[in-house]
Homo-oligomer: A and B are copies of this chain.
């Protein structure tokens, strides 16, 4: 919704309830649905799949998806545990596309591999869930969600892959398909570049702090690379949450995408029953569906 400001002041003064003169009570909003959700509809985000990146402007948290890219993620874990990304930098910020980070020196990859078979897609299988979306997709025969991640599928080929939605994290590579080691990563900060699907290995998505990436000054070089030596944004550290002491470890819960709460949310997001909407969209795209994550016991 894109309310006028003066109106919003009234709305918030009224505690968020939209009063349409004489109308029936407002249907449950997304926030109402999430507030009413049972604890069982949320899953803990595995600390072993949680990357914590510290930048001068704040923290970015990434949930990895090893079901889709086990080898690449094993390589990234090896790099992270060798503190490979400490002292790396955001080297690229291209508007409506991606931010990208890598080391700018020639530090060797150590125990990590420099090439291996890409993980652009995988076989559909019983080890991952699938909650389909009912609406057509421009790029794939079928879309939906697997264990909290946006996916597309080609049932006739038996393949499933992560989709390039806002906040998804992938592996930069050269022309050779096997050239992406995970030592250069990017995150989507604009309109979903679905043309990249099945062309790069996606490894996860940002679950906190995407605005730290999306507000970075855009690079003025070709493809949004920073041109001057002082422009790259230093990365202070990248750690696996499971490698942090328990007291310092941030904890998150993600709404289960196979839960009743998620189905209620999907229904609400497709129908938009609140009175602001004059035309019910009646549809939703895989990159338009919110995938709620909440911090647990956050220290403020």
Contacts and interface: CB of A to CB of B under 8 A. Distances in A.
B138 A18 contact: no
A288 B217 contact: no
B4 A174 contact: yes
Range for the number of chain A residues in contact with chain B: 35 or more
Given A5-B225, A100-B2, A288-B195, A283 B215 contact: no
A18 B196 CA distance: 18
A118 B137 CA distance: 29
Given A18-B175, A215-B217, A279 B199 contact: yes
A43 B260 CA distance: 52
A172 B1 CA distance: 8
Contact of A215 (B16, B193, B215, B275): B215
A2 B198 contact: no
B195 A281 contact: yes
Interface SS of A by simple majority: loop
Interface string A171-203: 111110101100010100011111111111000
A4 B137 contact: no
Nearest to A118: B278
Contacts of A272: 195
A210 B96 contact: yes
A120 B194 contact: no
B210 A8 contact: no
B120 A173 contact: no
A98 B136 contact: no
Nearest to A106: B6
Given A138-B138, A139-B285, A191-B192, 14 more contacts: A5-B100, A7-B174, A7-B179, A8-B223, A95-B211, A96-B166, A136-B136, A138-B285, A194-B285, A195-B272, A199-B278, A211-B218, A215-B216, A215-B218
The 9 closest A-B pairs by CB, nearest first: A198-B279, A7-B174, A195-B281, A138-B285, A95-B211, A211-B218, A136-B136, A166-B191, A2-B172
29 contacts: A1-B223, A2-B98, A2-B172, A2-B173, A2-B186, A3-B174, A4-B174, A4-B179, A5-B92, A5-B172, A8-B222, A8-B223, A20-B175, A95-B211, A135-B138, A136-B136, A136-B137, A138-B284, A166-B190, A166-B191, A175-B275, A175-B276, A194-B281, A197-B279, A199-B278, A199-B279, A214-B218, A215-B216, A215-B217
